[in-house]
Amino acid sequence: MTRIVTVVFGLMFSLLLALNSCSPESKALKNFKYGNYENVISYYQNVLKSQPNNGKANYYIAESYRQSNRIKQSEPYYEKAGGPGVNKDSVLLYLAKAQQANGKYAEAVATLETLQSSTEVEGLRDRAGKELAGLQNLEDLKARKNYYRVKNLETLNSTFSEYSPAYLNGELYFTSSRSNDRIYGSTGTPFTDIFKASTQGANVDVETIKPLPESINTPNVNVGTIAFSPDGKTMVFAKGNTGKRKGANDVDLFLSRFRNSQWTEPQQININQPDSWESAPAFSPDGRHLYFASNRKGGYGGLDLYSAQMDSRGRFTRVRNLGPEINTSGNESFPHIAENGKMYFSSDGHPGYGMLDIFVVNRVNGKTSIDNLGQPVNSTGDDFGIFLFKIDRGFFTSNRDGGKGDDDIYTFINEDPDLKVVNYNLQGIAYSMRPDSTRDILPETKVTLLDSRGDIMQDFVTGSDGKFIFRVYENEKYTLIGEASGYLVKRGPYQTIGKSVDPATLKELVTTITLDTLLVLDRIEKNKVFVLKNIYFGLDSANIRPQSARELDKLVDVLNDNPEIKIEMSSHTDSIGSVEYNINLSQRRAAATVNYLIKKGIAAERLVAKGYGESKPIARNTNPDGSDNPEGRQRNRRTEFKILEIGIRPVKEDDEDDEDKFFKKGIEKEDDLR
């Protein structure tokens, strides 16, 4: 009997647990976990009917509105949010963002000042300071002259959401929820599909609007922002978040190619990462780079902007975070690279009017600035998804007051009378020299462009013609690095200082200036000798002079770039003085150069010092008649390095591994396909 009672009691207890786990609140919390925010809002709104000051209920409603891109509606709920487990700091931060989104700037300032003085988290204190500085910057934005004129594209927009326009070959592509009966639980709005319509500039023929085929628009799946390569033959778009527990809970990028007059079956591209969001793709004007937004590990918080390089096989490699000048602890998304080479993007982390604002990256004299486009392009609503089909005109998206639906597409014109665009391109050829002074073109050479700080700006892999091309900017200093199998990694300086043109002298709206350069690589060969120029010593001295140190620093770069080689540092003299004296002097000088390299971090086991004295002249010390030959003696007084051993070049860490080093935890991740 006791065993039976025990079993019955156990079954009853299990049943009670099961019933408890299926309580309405448990379901609401599960819905919150899986992003079904409408169900969360509905449940806790009922709670507030009897308990209007319930801090937990207010918190989950506020968070649900914020994470479904309705932060304006979250303000009254953040004001009452609280209770056990609720982070007071994050409540204050998002309350300030909600107040700012509603145009309540004075209230937002007060909330941020409270957060700044009360939080013990240094990162939040810094962010509050940046947010305050951004609000103060609004006065400067208002005072700045603005030449943009915007207009709602009323003929295209509906009472539903239309966003992220893209223009290709006389057709406007956009994302919309206009013709979907199924509701996405996160936002309470229909799932989105991609549509297209014929257009002449901003004059859209609404009779031609139609969705893309089901191979692109998967039923009951949100399909988002689309991008095309410049030749129109490659399409990349975002797709994901089904809203189902067993469905996709993230967003990935898909690729399709236009073949035989139709788009191929879309495939996920290789840069997607599990459990992270990849969205908002955009191609560079040359089609070699893809830009996108992601919340993957290694970012600076929320969504960050990344770039990837597309190789000759159509695969994407060398994924790079665009860095802290562009990315913030907030969200950066919707990149667009215009014909003028400038990047436009949207952010709620840079100083703005409240929600997502549109910014442009300007580069002047080697310095990057992130500039808010100001009103009327930006508003207190979400402003994003800009696309320039000409330098002075294009489309963007906004959910500002006065629109026809949720998100609307707007057109704009930049009427700046002084608008002139000058594009500077640096093109070159990578090659090596044969002993007979003829050239060998080097295909498959990776050429990297560094700025004056040594940061990577772009890279390029040459084709069979050995040619490379980069976008450069006026009045800057660069370094080109060439890498090819079997050759020493080579660095070459280049500068655009003094090579720019005055835009005021140009008649065309867009002018492209092409600059030329060459990059010569040396084959790695055992016992190959390289003469170091401008390595000078004082009379009877082995001290390294400042000018010589600058030249040796270049050798430090060579050794760091080519860690697989071991070298002999050799010093030579002319014939003045005794043989014994010259051997001793040259040995001291060779040792001095080796010691200098070691102090600069080069491993001692990679270096050998050897003084040859006057034993290996490369020119005559005296003329045939016995008279002195100063030019010949100067050539003989030289420093060289010789390759003694060639090992295996270490494989560089993958870019994704590099990003892990810069991981910074954001406040929270955003769950929005857009």
Q: What is the DSSP string of 238-277?
A: EEE--SSTTS--SEEEEEEEEETTEEPPPEE-TT--TTS-
Lowest mean pLDDT among 76-80, 255-259, 537-541, 557-561: 537-541
- Average pLDDT across the chain, whole number: 87
Checking DSSP bridges between strand 510-520 and strand 421-433, what pairing results, if any?
parallel
Is residue 501 one of the residues assigned to a domain? yes
Could you tell me if 100 and 167 lie in one domain?
Answer: no
- Residue 470 sits in a domain whose CATH number is 2.60.40.10
Task: Answer yes or no: do 389 and 290 share one domain.
Answer: yes
pLDDT of residue 310: 83
- Which residues, 6 or more positions from 595, have their beta carbon under 8 angstroms from its beta carbon? none
Whether residues 241 and 319 share a domain: the answer is: yes
Q: What is the mean pLDDT of residues 351-368?
A: 88
pLDDT band at 538 (very low <50, low <70, confident <90, very high): confident
Range scoring the smallest mean pLDDT among 197-206, 234-243, 566-575: 234-243
Domain that residue 614 falls in: 529-646
The confidence score (pLDDT) of residue 7 equals: 36
Q: Domain check: are 509 and 544 in the same one?
A: no
Q: Does residue 596 sit within a domain?
A: yes
The count of C-alpha atoms lying within 13 angstroms of the C-alpha of 350, restricted to the half-sphere facing its C-beta, is 25
73 or 241: whose pLDDT is higher? 73
Contact of 279 with 302, CB cutoff 8 Å: no
**Is the pLDDT score of 20 beyond 70?**
no
Query: Within this chain, do residues 561 and 516 fall inside the same structural domain, yes or no?
Result: no
Q: Is the pLDDT of residue 587 over 60?
A: yes
Task: Specify the CATH number for the domain of residue 615.
Answer: 3.30.1330.60
pLDDT of residue 184: 66
Strand ranges (E), 415-509: 421-433, 439-441, 446-450, 456-461, 467-472, 477-483, 490-495
Task: Measure the CA–CA gap between 91 and 78, rounded to whole angstroms.
Answer: 6
9 in any annotated domain: no
Last residue within a domain, chosen from 402, 417, 432:
417
What pLDDT score does 181 carry? 67
Mean pLDDT calculated for residue range 317-339: 92
Residue 10, in any domain of the structure = no
Both 363 and 284 in a single domain? yes
Phi and psi at residue 399, to the nearest 5° = -110, 30
Give residue 653's pLDDT band: very low, low, confident or very high (50, 70, 90): low
Q: How many domains does the chain have?
A: 4
- Domain co-membership, 302 together with 162: yes
The answer as to whether 359 is a domain residue is: yes
Residue 137 pLDDT grade (very low, low, confident, very high; cuts 50, 70, 90) = confident
Whether 511 and 558 share a structural domain: no
Encode pLDDT of 54-74 as tens digits. 999 999 999 999 988 888 899
Distance CA 347, CA 301 (A): 12
Residues 441 and 491 in one domain: yes
| CA–CA separation, 446 and 436 (whole Å) | 25
In the listed set 108, 126, 143, which residue is the last one of a domain according to the structure? 143
Sign for the pseudo-dihedral over CA of 311, 317, 320, 322 = positive
**Across 7-11, 156-160, 182-186, 352-356, least confident range:** 7-11
Contact call for residues 535 and 548 (beta carbons, < 8 A)? yes
What is d(CA 534, CA 514) in angstroms, rounded to the nearest whole number? Answer: 32
Q: Is residue 413 part of a domain?
A: yes
Identify the CATH number of the domain in which residue 44 sits.
Answer: 1.25.40.10
* Residue 313 in tokens: 């096989």
195-205: pLDDT as tens digits: 999 999 889 99
Residues 323 and 287 in one domain: yes
In the listed set 520, 540, 561, which residue is the last one of a domain according to the structure? 520
Tell me the percentage of the chain whose pLDDT exceeds 70: 91
pLDDT at 2: 36
- Does residue 228 lie in a domain region? yes
Is residue 522 within 8 Å of residue 530, measured between CB atoms?
A: yes
DSSP element (H, E) containing 317: strand 316-321
Clarify whether residues 128 and 199 are in a common domain. Answer: no
Closest CA to 287 of 323, 317, 252, 311: 311
pTM of the model: 0.78
The predicted pLDDT at position 654 comes to 42
**pLDDT at 17 > cutoff 80:** no
Dig out the tokens for 483 from the structure. Answer: 């890498």
Please indicate, yes or no, if residue 98 is contained in any of the structural domains: yes
Q: Give how far Cα 185 sits from Cα of 25, 37, 527, Å.
A: 17, 6, 70
Q: What is the pLDDT of residue 22?
A: 62
- Phi, psi (deg, nearest 5) at residue 130: -65, -40
Mean pLDDT calculated for residue range 180-197: 78
**Residue 349: predicted pLDDT:** 87
Task: Assess whether 331 and 430 both reside in one domain.
Answer: no
Q: What is the mean pLDDT of residues 113-126?
A: 90
